[in-house]
Amino acid sequence: MELISEMNKYAAYIRCVLSSQELAEQLAEECNELAQASLKMIRASGMSANITPISRRDAYDNFIEEQNDVVSVLWVLTCDERYAYIDDYPKYERWAKRLGYKESGGTEE
């Protein structure tokens, strides 16, 4: 199912520039970061004797951010409407610009 017309311009650009393999590689990287954030949250919550200097709140915030990163890549990779709620995620603009996206109209920040 191709919903690219419903994606924001940055997510659509990313989908056009990167191959499915490259998006799957990005998904694997984001999943790894989510796994690390999960482990850090466990440690910060005191569920492990292996303590961490990261606060419980910071660990939780990072855990949520990594979840959003995973879902953002799933949206671009699959175009599955169940992930469409993340279409306004700010990461897309940064990611698209790293890949060479230029704003039309000649004004770039």
pLDDT value of position 106: 47
Angle, alpha carbons 93-34-7 (nearest 5°)? 30
Tens-place pLDDT, residues 1-53: 344 557 999 999 999 999 999 999 999 999 999 999 999 999 999 999 999 99
Contact 72, 89 (CB under 8 A): yes
* pLDDT category of residue 59 using cuts at 50, 70 and 90: very high
Distance CA 48, CA 36 (A): 14
Mean pLDDT of 69-97: 96
Quick check: helix, strand or coil at residue 104?
A: coil
104's CB contacts (< 8 A; 6+ apart) are none
Share of the chain above pLDDT 70, in %: 91
For residue 104, the model assigns a pLDDT of 80
